[in-house]
Amino acid sequence: MPTLPSKSPARPWIPKAQPTQRKPYQRHAERSPLYDSPRWRSLRLAQLKKEPCCRACAAKKRVTPAVVADHIKPYRDGSDFFDATNLQSLCTPCHARKSAKEGHVRRKMVA
Protein backbone atom coordinates (compact mmCIF):
# COMPACT_ATOMS: atom_id res chain seq x y z
CA MET A 1 0.00 0.00 0.00
CA PRO A 2 1.44 3.47 -0.88
CA THR A 3 2.35 5.85 1.93
CA LEU A 4 2.09 9.59 2.09
CA PRO A 5 5.24 11.65 2.35
CA SER A 6 6.11 12.51 5.94
CA LYS A 7 6.75 16.20 5.27
CA SER A 8 4.24 18.53 3.71
CA PRO A 9 5.29 20.03 0.39
CA ALA A 10 6.81 23.49 0.30
CA ARG A 11 4.30 26.32 0.26
CA PRO A 12 5.82 29.19 -1.70
CA TRP A 13 3.02 31.58 -0.76
CA ILE A 14 3.94 31.39 2.95
CA PRO A 15 7.01 33.48 3.75
CA LYS A 16 9.82 31.67 5.51
CA ALA A 17 10.47 32.88 9.04
CA GLN A 18 13.70 34.80 9.28
CA PRO A 19 15.51 34.19 12.55
CA THR A 20 15.98 37.63 14.07
CA GLN A 21 17.81 38.33 17.24
CA ARG A 22 16.55 41.65 18.58
CA LYS A 23 18.27 43.30 21.49
CA PRO A 24 16.05 44.20 24.47
CA TYR A 25 16.20 47.94 23.80
CA GLN A 26 15.23 47.66 20.12
CA ARG A 27 11.55 47.20 20.86
CA HIS A 28 11.46 50.61 22.53
CA ALA A 29 13.64 52.16 19.84
CA GLU A 30 10.75 51.75 17.42
CA ARG A 31 8.67 54.06 19.66
CA SER A 32 11.29 56.52 20.87
CA PRO A 33 14.64 57.27 19.21
CA LEU A 34 16.12 58.00 22.65
CA TYR A 35 16.31 54.25 23.36
CA ASP A 36 18.55 53.79 20.33
CA SER A 37 21.04 56.47 21.37
CA PRO A 38 24.57 55.52 22.45
CA ARG A 39 24.08 57.54 25.64
CA TRP A 40 21.07 55.39 26.66
CA ARG A 41 22.86 52.13 25.79
CA SER A 42 25.83 53.03 27.98
CA LEU A 43 23.52 54.20 30.81
CA ARG A 44 21.51 50.97 30.54
CA LEU A 45 24.66 48.85 30.64
CA ALA A 46 25.99 50.78 33.65
CA GLN A 47 22.68 50.26 35.49
CA LEU A 48 22.67 46.52 34.80
CA LYS A 49 26.28 46.23 35.98
CA LYS A 50 25.53 48.23 39.13
CA GLU A 51 22.38 46.23 39.90
CA PRO A 52 22.56 42.82 38.12
CA CYS A 53 19.55 41.29 39.91
CA CYS A 54 15.90 42.22 39.51
CA ARG A 55 14.89 44.73 42.18
CA ALA A 56 11.25 43.55 42.35
CA CYS A 57 12.26 39.89 42.73
CA ALA A 58 14.84 40.81 45.39
CA ALA A 59 12.05 42.45 47.39
CA LYS A 60 10.30 39.05 47.34
CA LYS A 61 13.54 37.32 48.38
CA ARG A 62 14.14 35.79 44.94
CA VAL A 63 17.31 36.04 42.88
CA THR A 64 16.60 36.70 39.20
CA PRO A 65 19.01 38.22 36.68
CA ALA A 66 17.89 41.62 35.42
CA VAL A 67 17.77 42.34 31.69
CA VAL A 68 15.85 45.64 31.60
CA ALA A 69 16.85 49.08 32.83
CA ASP A 70 13.48 50.56 33.75
CA HIS A 71 12.49 54.15 34.49
CA ILE A 72 11.00 54.18 38.00
CA LYS A 73 8.96 57.27 37.18
CA PRO A 74 8.06 57.08 33.46
CA TYR A 75 9.84 59.73 31.44
CA ARG A 76 6.53 60.45 29.67
CA ASP A 77 5.30 61.77 33.00
CA GLY A 78 7.97 64.45 33.13
CA SER A 79 11.14 62.80 34.44
CA ASP A 80 14.50 63.18 32.73
CA PHE A 81 15.16 60.33 30.30
CA PHE A 82 18.87 60.08 31.13
CA ASP A 83 18.58 60.46 34.93
CA ALA A 84 20.55 57.54 36.41
CA THR A 85 18.85 57.92 39.80
CA ASN A 86 15.48 57.21 38.14
CA LEU A 87 16.53 53.76 36.88
CA GLN A 88 16.03 50.30 38.33
CA SER A 89 16.99 46.87 37.04
CA LEU A 90 14.15 44.44 36.39
CA CYS A 91 13.65 41.01 34.85
CA THR A 92 11.34 40.76 31.84
CA PRO A 93 8.22 39.46 33.69
CA CYS A 94 8.47 42.14 36.40
CA HIS A 95 9.00 44.86 33.79
CA ALA A 96 5.99 43.64 31.79
CA ARG A 97 3.87 43.63 34.96
CA LYS A 98 4.96 47.15 35.92
CA SER A 99 4.46 48.51 32.40
CA ALA A 100 1.00 46.95 32.18
CA LYS A 101 0.00 48.61 35.47
CA GLU A 102 1.33 51.97 34.28
CA GLY A 103 -0.51 51.63 30.98
CA HIS A 104 -3.72 50.68 32.78
CA VAL A 105 -3.49 53.73 35.04
CA ARG A 106 -2.70 55.98 32.06
CA ARG A 107 -5.72 54.66 30.11
CA LYS A 108 -7.99 55.19 33.12
CA MET A 109 -6.81 58.80 33.44
CA VAL A 110 -7.50 59.50 29.74
CA ALA A 111 -10.96 57.89 29.71
**Spatial distance between the Cα atoms of 54 and 58, rounded to a whole number of angstroms:** 6
Q: Among 27-31, 66-70, 87-91, which is the least confidently predicted range?
A: 27-31
| pLDDT band, residue 29 (cuts 50/70/90) | low
Host H or E run for residue 9: none
**Spatial distance between the Cα atoms of 24 and 37, rounded to a whole number of angstroms:** 14
Each domain of the chain, given as residue ranges in start order, spans 26-110
Contact (CB, 8 A) for 87 and 71: yes
Higher pLDDT, 6 or 75: 75
Whole-model pTM: value is 0.68
Question: Which pLDDT belongs to residue 17?
Answer: 65
pLDDT tens column, 40-50: 999 999 999 99
pLDDT tens column, 75-91: 888 889 999 999 999 99
